[in-house]
């Protein structure tokens, strides 16, 4: 009897709290797919649903209510769907990244066998700074309708933190090279500081190859010779643009996951948005959120389950008989999620 209580106590003590924020549009559809797969594993997780996004704004008057921030801050990890932006209102995901200090955004770019794409041999990682740059959202009207300015904030502290994070991730993933992308020939102060800090940090990692390119050249090379990249580290806006560009090379937004990592929290989300054009049709591709879920499980040290999801997603794409329309198939979101689950069972 005592042992049973002890076990129960340990189970509760080790229970991970997960905030689930489906958001709007296809965010809600793909989140159901993620929960379906998570439920299968029956992990020791305590799930807490929270609201954010445009629908939430209509309901509560806020795109990201305090209650949601409270739930997120009490969690070990947060799984986020997608939101539709609301004019003149705070962006929930930018607010979450800032409030949770998840300064490092990881965007793996991997080719999948069976997916028709421009390249089929890609495997690199984009590491995006998440807390500053033009996303400081510090804009000012100098002259109404004539002149407006946006401040780009780059600090030594955040640049150092993201570059260190990129080098550590390079080691963790047994990668070999880090490329910094910037525009220091034009933005001499801001991007100049980023570049300088990158090479200062690089001195602590002598076994890792380093290089830097202007961001325009980087975006060209991502299209013309992406195989040269292993890890790209860059500031906020460049990272956003480069990762969408790179997603286009490996089968589109329906396949690209991301993780936002800080000292205390991990926030995981597909790179795609709420896709209002297909929302409600149940044809959204769930692979991006399933791979984000896999990243979350790996972050929480559930490596076995994380790998199973990743492998099962690859298998479904390789077999190619259950695909959503964005990949040329006719399957519904839940059918593809079910195919992933069937493959998980087969692989176990
Ligand atoms: P938002 O303003 O919310 O970012 P958006 O339409 O501008 O929405 P996305 O939501 O990322 O941007 O969608 C861009 C395109 O990619 C759309 O045509 C959308 O249908 C498609 N798309 C995005 N995610 C998926 C997905 N998971 N499955 C299928 N198609 C997708």
Encode pLDDT of 316-336 as tens digits: 999 999 999 999 999 999 999
3-class state of residue 252 by DSSP: coil
Query: How much of the chain is in helix, strand and coil states, percent to nearest 5?
Result: 45, 20, 35
Place of tokens 């070999």: 176
Q: Residue 90 class from Cβ within 10 Å (0-12 exposed, 13-18 middle, 19+ buried)?
A: middle
Residue nearest to atom 4 of ligand 1 (CA): 273
183 an active-site residue?
yes
Centre of ligand 1 to C-alpha 161, Å, is 31
Beta strands in the chain (DSSP E): 16-23, 45-49, 77-82, 104-110, 123-129, 133-143, 147-153, 177-182, 209-214, 231-234, 257-261, 266-270
Q: Which of 24, 191, 240, 326 is catalytic?
A: 240
3-class state of residue 122 by DSSP: coil
Pocket test for ligand 1, best of 107, 273, 280, 325 (most atoms within 8 A of CB): 273
Residue 185: per-residue pLDDT? 97
Residue 7: per-residue pLDDT? 65
Residue 116: per-residue pLDDT? 86
Q: Using N-to-C axis directions, what is the helix angle for 26-41 and 333-347, rounded to 10°? A: 20
Measured from the Cα of 325, ligand 1's closest atom is 29
Q: What are the mean pLDDT values of the chain's consecutive 10-residue runs (348 residues total)?
A: 59 86 98 97 95 97 97 98 94 92 96 90 96 89 96 97 97 97 98 98 98 98 97 97 92 92 97 95 98 97 96 97 95 98 96
86 CB near ligand 1 (under 6 Å)? no
Q: Residue 257 class from Cβ within 10 Å (0-12 exposed, 13-18 middle, 19+ buried)?
A: buried
121 an active-site residue?
no
Residue 6: per-residue pLDDT? 58
Residue 1: per-residue pLDDT? 53
Asked whether the beta carbons of 155 and 140 are under 8 A apart, the reply is no
Residue 251: per-residue pLDDT? 86
Residue 83: per-residue pLDDT? 97
Residue 295: per-residue pLDDT? 97
The tokens of 313 are what? 């997603």
Residue nearest to atom 12 of ligand 1 (CA): 273
Place of tokens 């990881």: 106
Q: Residue 208 class from Cβ within 10 Å (0-12 exposed, 13-18 middle, 19+ buried)?
A: middle
DSSP assignment of 197-249, as one string?
A: HHHHHHTT-TTSEEEEEEHHHHHHHHHH-GGG-SEEEE-HHHHHHHHHHHHTT
3-class state of residue 161 by DSSP: helix
Q: Which of 28, 183, 195, 332 is catalytic?
A: 183
């Amino acid at each position: 009897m005592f042992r049973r209580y002890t076990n129960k106590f340990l189970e509760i003590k080790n229970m991970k709290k997960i905030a689930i924020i489906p958001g709007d549009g296809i965010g809600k559809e793909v989140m159901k797919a993620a929960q379906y797969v998570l439920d299968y594993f029956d992990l020791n997780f305590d799930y807490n649903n929270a609201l954010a996004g445009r629908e939430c704004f209509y309901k509560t008057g806020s795109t990201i209510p305090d209650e949601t921030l409270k739930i997120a801050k009490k969690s070990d990890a947060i799984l986020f769907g997608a939101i539709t932006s609301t004019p003149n209102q705070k962006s929930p995901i930018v607010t979450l990244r800032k409030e949770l200090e998840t300064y490092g955004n990881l965007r793996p770019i991997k080719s999948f066998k069976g997916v028709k794409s421009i390249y089929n041999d890609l495997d690199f990682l984009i590491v995006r700074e998440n807390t500053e740059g033009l996303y400081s959202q510090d804009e000012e009207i100098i002259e109404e309708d004539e002149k407006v300015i946006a401040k780009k904030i780059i600090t030594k502290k955040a640049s150092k933190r993201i570059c260190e994070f990129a080098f550590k991730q390079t080691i963790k993933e047994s990668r070999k090279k880090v490329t910094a992308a910037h525009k220091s020939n034009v933005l001499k102060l801001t991007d100049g500081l980023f570049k300088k800090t990158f090479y200062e940090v690089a001195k602590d990692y002598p076994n890792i190859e380093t290089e830097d390119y202007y961001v325009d050249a980087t975006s060209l090379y991502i299209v013309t010779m992406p195989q040269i990249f292993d890890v790209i580290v860059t500031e906020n806006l460049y990272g956003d643009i480069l990762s969408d560009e790179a997603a286009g090379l490996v089968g589109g937004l329906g396949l690209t996951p991301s993780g936002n990592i800080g000292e205390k929290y991990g926030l995981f989300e597909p790179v795609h948005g709420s896709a209002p054009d297909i929302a409600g049709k149940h044809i959204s591709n769930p692979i991006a959120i399933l791979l984000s879920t896999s990243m979350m499980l790996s972050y929480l040290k559930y490596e076995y389950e994380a790998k199973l999801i990743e492998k099962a997603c690859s298998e479904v794409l390789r077999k190619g008989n259950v695909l959503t329309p964005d990949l040329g198939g006719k399957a519904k979101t839940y059918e593809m999620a079910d195919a992933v689950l069937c493959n998980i069972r087969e692989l176990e």
